[in-house]
Amino acid sequence: MDPERLILEFQNLLYIESPSKKEGKLAHYIADIFEALGFKCFFDKSAENTGSEVGNLIVKIPGTLPSEPLFFCAHLDTVGPCENPTIIYENGIFRTDGKTILGADDKAGIAILIEIAKVLKENYFPYPPLEFVFTTCEEIGLLGAKYLDLELLDAKEGLVLDSKSPQVIINGAPSSFKFSIETKGKSAHAGIEPEKGINAIYLLAKILAELPTGRVDEETTMNLGKISGGMYLNIVPDLALAEGEMRSHSQEKLGTLQSLIQSKAQEIIDSYPVKLEGLPSFTVKFKKIFQAFYLPPSDALCQLVQRAGQRLGWEMTFKRHEGGSDANIFNEKGLKSLILGTGMQKVHTTEEFIEVKDLIKATQLVLEIIKLKGELS
């Protein structure tokens, strides 16, 4: 590999803005690179469902030997703010001036795969067929992965480049559900006849006060993120809405939390002393965002990555992650996946940075995984 070439390409990518749904410019830029190297590129039709400018980009790299293919994935989109970034590179670290995110999440992953493709073009050694998948709209619900046309992929297992340390293998992640609690009361003039009203905000507050927030236990979290209700200060509000999310590595614990929300809401509504025209009432809704996965360290894919790292002289560790990624969707769809680190730090903030030495290490690991896979085939 060529570290200087890797650094330069990464820097180029950082200047291409690609917020969710506006990944077109970046997608076509990298497609041009892979096509110039002689690799087949095509877009799927996921944009019809995601609302992105483009579909997911898939790159096919023929292997030098017949073998089961392996895929690698990085997402194209970034969070904001990302407009007109000022990129600063000093002392081996990329960061911004603090006004925008850097975009190492996940342009570090993209840069790694571009460098890998160039290495494969320039060198001959045994390696399996490879498929690079660049997804859209990852940051707004893993949408690209959810609508990825699996018929376009031959690989049944792969690695998602979307975490921090190159020496940490993410082999598990939680399920996530978003939820909403809506209370319905009755409006009335707050000063003249408040007794004819039922305050929906008051009811919602009593329900929320009965629910856990933050770290529920070692593998479960719950967050109340948004609340709204009411229109005017002198009107008893008849509607109030709270929205939140829950995550856990245990499906049973998520079921327990869902039952708790339902039962506490029912309890508060039933205990309200005034009943007017069938009111108050409530509605609770749940929607799964992504499904948990876990691959034991003894799994063949885990062993492949661990052995590759050990051949580089590294101590590799396994860890369950609390965030969601495309790997959640792939595993749910039957594509065995792990998450690898690229070196990115403080992602989703304007303090985001990456040390070049970690970017280089991550590239070395991906290359070693490909070489080892070829040797074992």
Active site residues: 77, 138
Determine the distance from the C-alpha atom of residue 335 to the mean position of all C-alpha atoms in its chain, rounded to a whole number: 16
Task: Please state, in angstroms and rounded to a whole number, the distance separating the CA atoms of residues 147 and 44.
Answer: 9
Q: Buried (b) or exposed (e) across 267-306, using 16+ Cβ within 10 A? A: ebbeebeeeeeebbebebeeeebbbbbebeeeeebbebbb
The dihedral through the CA atoms of 134, 137, 140, 142 has a sign that is: negative
371 φ/ψ angles, rounded to the nearest 5 degrees: -65, -45
Count of beta carbons in the 10 Å neighbourhood of residue 123: 11
28 φ/ψ angles, rounded to the nearest 5 degrees: -70, -30
DSSP state of 285: E
CA-CA-CA-CA torsion for 14, 15, 21, 22, nearest 10 degrees? -160
Report the half-sphere exposure of 94 (CA within 13 A, side-chain side): 29
Return the structure tokens found at 3.
Answer: 């570290």
For residue 2, give the nearest of 92, 118, 123, 93 by alpha carbon.
118
